[in-house]
Amino acid sequence: MNDFYLSDRPLHLAENFAQYIRSRIELSRSIILSGELKKINYSELTAFRHEVYYGRRRVEGAIILPRLIRERAAGRLDTVPVLRTIKNADTPEALFISELIQSSIRVCRWWKRTGGSEGGLASSTLKFFNALENQAPWNELRTRPRPSLAELVGIVRSRLAAGWSKRGGIIDRLLKIVEAESDAVSDAAGDIAFFISNDPRYQDRMFELICLGWLVSAARSEFPSFEVHEANFLSTRGPVAAFSRGGRCWTISYQRYYTGETHYSWRGSRHRLWAIPDYVAESTFDGQRVTVILDAKNRPQSSRSEIVYKMLGYKENLRIEPFVALALAPTYEAAAFHRVADGEGNSVSLVYLPLDRGELIVRRMLRSALKVKGAT
């Protein structure tokens, strides 16, 4: 939850790309925290403490007889010393949450200024945190001095182990969100776990979305009839984009499930061996269909044989004729193209794309494919 700073260095630098990822992890944490704080139980945050109070002509607690006698001996007949129990909101747990609110506000303010989809999401999340900060006890706690967030985490973690907070409660859940910095997460935690960790699978998913953005941008520039179906991004109901020109219609699907169309099945259960390419581009013209399998592979150039064999696995299982596949991989060097083919029109291509020029290269590849194949 520390503040982050993005430099203006080119995006293709490896360390800057890591910062590019980390900045989104911070935004994701803030969004997850907002969901947890909507169902907060304030009884877990307060503590009771005893204090000595000197009332005036009123008994407002348990009378402390030795002090009462001293007051009477001193001639203060209207003073009543008592011991009373009060609620204390200034606990380490409350200060911990107050610091999380402050950190989330800083993160959301930064993202709000950037605009785009992330800026819109940050703006709505910022409204929640601003409203929460103006409520008691956070409006009082925001100006209280406190240790750093790292120190507060250690204090609250120790108090949790000592039984000051219950296991599985709001404090325990918030600690797990803030401390989720490991290189792996449990699959049982669900997809959202990838957004609060440095798990390599999260980086792979990020690269998938970057490549999808390149593909959509390239198709939009070449086809005026381009349409995006946003409702299909998180489902398998249909393509995420559709476009046409000259009687030929194209669609792009994301994370499409091939089940009944596959060739292989598991021995015993007879369940089909699923195939789930990252993207599938399909073209129809005069009743004929052409399918292109596309995959995003966040792998180095030394893995090119492994990538090609993975794409050939799609060919063996899907039995699409002719089989045409394209794999996209990142590089911090110059673009590199590789291709394998047989004598029957089947081919697998692999292109390594620089992160700062990937969209431009994908656009050129699409233009070249349209001219060579006459797919207009």
3-state secondary structure of 60: coil
- For the chain, give percent helix, strand, coil, nearest 5: 45, 20, 35
Question: In 10 A of CB 6, how many CB atoms?
Answer: 13
pLDDT tens track, the chain, 376 positions: 334 333 333 444 444 556 666 777 788 888 988 988 887 766 656 555 566 778 787 777 777 788 878 888 888 888 888 877 656 566 888 888 888 998 899 889 888 888 878 888 899 999 999 999 888 778 888 888 888 888 888 888 888 888 777 788 888 888 888 876 544 333 333 444 444 455 567 778 888 888 988 988 888 888 888 888 887 876 667 888 898 887 888 888 888 877 777 888 888 887 888 888 888 988 888 878 888 999 999 888 888 899 999 999 999 988 888 899 999 998 878 889 999 998 888 999 999 998 888 889 999 988 887 765 544 4
Residues 6+ apart with CB under 8 A from 309: none
* 26 residue type, one letter: E
**CA–centroid distance for 147 within its chain:** 28
Q: How far apart are CA 250 and CA 243, in angstroms?
A: 5
3-state secondary structure of 347: strand
- In the block, tokens 């303010």 appear at 109
Indicate the length of the chain as a whole number: 376
pLDDT for the residue numbered 204 = 82
Cβ(363)–Cβ(218) under 8 Å?
Answer: yes
pLDDT for the residue numbered 185 = 39
pLDDT for the residue numbered 127 = 94
**For residue 257, which of 270, 274, 272 has the smallest C-alpha distance?**
274
- In the block, tokens 């935690």 appear at 189
Sequence spans of domains, the chain: 14-42+94-184, 47-88, 203-373
- In the block, tokens 């609620």 appear at 87
Q: Which helix (H) or strand (E) holds 285?
A: strand 279-285
Residues 6+ apart with CB under 8 A from 48: 85, 86, 87, 88
End-to-end CA distance of the chain: 50
**CA–centroid distance for 148 within its chain:** 25
* 308 residue type, one letter: V
Q: Which helix (H) or strand (E) holds 206?
A: helix 200-222
